[in-house]
């Protein structure tokens, strides 16, 4: 029996035929779907996050479970995807148990007063999310809800900017996507959704581009006031859409027969380079330009011309090819961040071994050999 303690109320449910005692620690998330509760297994002391779906949304819970089963073929750590550990029903509430993570990217940015992240940190996030998108693409799955809130830091103190993509409640197979359907959050909604074009896995790349831009700017790239304002921002940033796209759009007439001022300052790609505080390191400027170059290919109006995850992984910003042969503090720090992420598992194993041997004076250089 799974004993779940919320305040003073005790409830019991059977999970996979096992007898496990679990107590609620605290509510760590709320949303339209219901809430997420941090729980502790009183037998194993393991901490998990249980997502409790509202009764009237149990179909969404079942859909998310099926999506999570589809992801079981992937290594959740290597592919940066949240791992579901169990699921059950309690009093008509669909419940999903997940590994416990740290904090989502939006709350992390909020905690630092939306101070922009360095492009070195953004590169780490981009690398991992591109691997996640490539995994989803390989099974023709579209997340449809990529935003900072759904990218979680795993353990920021231990492994800085190690992230995972979460919340597959809205994910769909490509075959389920319908032209004209309204998907994705407002400020991260792709051009093809707004115009009413055929939908594909490319829409996730657009949302990821908007998310990385948010990390870079410390504010939304496309602040949403209305559908028309969004479309006007798209055109100002990316240029006039090709007539071939306009002719195919179900909602083209909603946008391209109006004249209206946008109430918000609009960034263009040149501004994105210029709006950041002046860098003292010329290599950082070079890195920023490589990032903007990648961003330009992620936020492309034509979904067929938008960069794919595998192609994005080969871009200079990700491979750091543009910094080959360069030295200096900025380059060394940027490379060190990459090396740490590549070897973090190896490092943790060595630290544990050293701890078990009562060797507390850890030689950092040795950990990277």
Give the CA distances from residue 263 to residues 185, 224, 270, in Å, rounded to whole numbers and listed in that order.
20, 10, 20
The one catalytic residue in 7, 56, 77, 145 is 145
What are the backbone dihedrals phi and psi of residue 250, each rounded to the nearest 5 degrees, phi first? -70, -30
What are the backbone dihedrals phi and psi of residue 40, each rounded to the nearest 5 degrees, phi first? -130, 130
Whether 145 sits among the annotated catalytic residues: the reply is: yes
33: tokens are 């779907």
Closest among 100, 3, 87, 86 to 42, alpha carbons compared: 3
Annotated ligand binding at 5? The verdict is no
Q: What is the CA radius of gyration of the chain?
A: 22
121 contacts: CB under 8 Å, gap ≥ 6? 160, 161, 215, 337
Beta bridge partners of 6: 9
How, if at all, do strands 84-90 and 141-142 pair?
Answer: unpaired
Contact assessment for residue 138 and residue 153, using Cβ atoms and an 8 Å cutoff: no
The rounded distance, in Å, linking the Cα atoms of 214 and 3 is 41
Contact assessment for residue 139 and residue 70, using Cβ atoms and an 8 Å cutoff: yes
SS3 157: coil
Query: Which residues fall in the annotated binding site?
Result: 55
- Residues identified as active-site: 145
Q: Report the binding-site residues for ATP.
A: 55
């Amino acid at each position: 029996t799974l004993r779940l303690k919320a305040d003073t109320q005790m409830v019991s449910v059977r999970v996979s035929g096992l007898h496990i005692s679990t107590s609620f620690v605290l509510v760590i998330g709320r949303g339209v779907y219901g809430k997420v509760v941090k729980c502790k297994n009183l037998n194993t002391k393991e901490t998990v996050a249980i997502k409790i779906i509202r009764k009237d949304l149990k179909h969404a819970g079942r859909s998310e479970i099926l999506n999570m089963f589809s992801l079981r073929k992937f290594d959740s750590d290597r592919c940066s995807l949240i791992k579901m550990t169990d699921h059950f029903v309690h009093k008509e509430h669909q419940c999903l148990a997940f590994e416990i993570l740290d904090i989502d990217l939006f709350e992390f940015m909020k905690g630092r007063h939306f101070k922009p992240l360095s492009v070195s940190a953004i590169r780490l996030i981009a690398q991992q999310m591109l691997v996640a998108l490539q995994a989803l693409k390989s099974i023709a799955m579209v997340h449809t809800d990529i935003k900072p809130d759904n990218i979680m830091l795993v353990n920021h103190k231990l492994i800085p900017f190690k992230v995972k993509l979460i919340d597959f409640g809205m994910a769909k197979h490509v075959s389920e996507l319908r032209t004209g359907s309204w998907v994705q959050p407002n400020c991260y909604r792709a051009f093809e959704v707004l115009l009413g074009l055929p939908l594909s896995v490319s829409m996730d790349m657009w949302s990821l581009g908007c998310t990385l831009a948010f990390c870079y700017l410390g504010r939304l790239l496309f602040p949403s006031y209305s559908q028309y304002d969004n479309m006007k921002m798209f055109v100002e940033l990316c240029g006039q859409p090709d007539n071939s796209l306009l002719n195919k759009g179900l909602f083209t007439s909603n946008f391209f027969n109006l004249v209206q001022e946008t109430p918000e300052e609009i960034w263009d790609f040149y501004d994105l380079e210029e709006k950041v505080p002046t860098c003292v390191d010329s290599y950082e400027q070079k890195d920023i330009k490589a990032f903007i170059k990648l961003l330009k290919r992620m936020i492309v109006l034509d979904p067929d011309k938008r960069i794919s995850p595998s192609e994005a992984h080969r871009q200079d910003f990700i491979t750091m090819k543009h910094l080959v042969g360069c030295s200096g503090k900025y380059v060394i720090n940027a490379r060190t961040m990459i090396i740490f992420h590549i070897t973090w598992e190896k490092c943790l194993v060595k630290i544990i071994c050293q701890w078990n041997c009562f060797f507390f004076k850890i030689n950092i250089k040795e950990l990277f050999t």
